[in-house]
């Protein structure tokens, strides 16, 4: 991949904000921060345009909650064509962490994640998506 150099003009306050992001996220330099921001917004555009993306659904739940496991499995079977793999980890006697690797149209992944997160007993849930590229 060939790197192109170009100049960027920013107001002083915006340049200070860029430097704050570089420091906060420990980017090695401003160029890396700008690359990150461009990619972040490019990926968000792909979500909005309902393109095919990849991602992970992360759930934390109490496995003693009645019917939770059955409901989760039923939902996952309804969306089997989007699910690449599932990892289940026991955090302690009551709590489990489940990571579901997914790939498909952004809107379908959001629907799947929303249904899983809405199950009674899920304490935390989040969908992280990225472009397939």
Q: What is the pLDDT of residues 19-58, one digit of tens each?
A: 999 999 999 999 999 998 988 888 888 888 888 999 999 9
Q: Whole-prediction pTM value?
A: 0.77
pLDDT tier at 128 (50, 70, 90 boundaries)? very high
Scan for tokens 């904000």, then name that residue.
Answer: 17
Contacts of residues 66-69 at CB distance under 8 Å and 24 or more positions apart, as own/partner, are 66/121, 67/120, 68/119, 68/120, 68/121, 68/122
What pLDDT does residue 42 have?
Answer: 85
The first and second tokens of residue 25, run together, are 């996220």
**Rounded mean pLDDT, 60-88:** 95
Do the Cβ atoms of 50 and 107 come closer than 8 Å? Answer: yes
133 HSE (CA, 13 A, CB side): 6
Burial of 28 (0-12, 13-18, 19+ CB in 10 A): exposed
Residue 125 scores a pLDDT above 90 = yes
DSSP 3-state of 102: strand
């Amino acid at each position: 991949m060939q790197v192109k150099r170009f100049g960027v003009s920013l107001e002083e306050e915006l340049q200070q904000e860029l430097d704050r992001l570089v420091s906060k996220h420990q980017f090695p330099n401003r160029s890396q921060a700008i690359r990150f921001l461009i990619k972040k917004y490019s990926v968000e555009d792909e979500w909005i345009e309902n393109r095919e993306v990849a991602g992970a659904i992360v759930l934390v739940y109490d496995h003693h909650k009645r019917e939770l496991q059955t409901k989760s499995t039923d939902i996952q079977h309804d969306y089997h064509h989007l699910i690449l793999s599932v990892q289940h980890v026991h955090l302690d006697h009551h709590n489990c962490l489940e990571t579901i690797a997914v790939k498909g149209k952004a809107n379908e992944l959001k629907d799947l994640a929303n249904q899983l997160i809405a199950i009674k007993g899920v304490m935390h849930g989040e969908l992280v998506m990225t472009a397939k590229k």
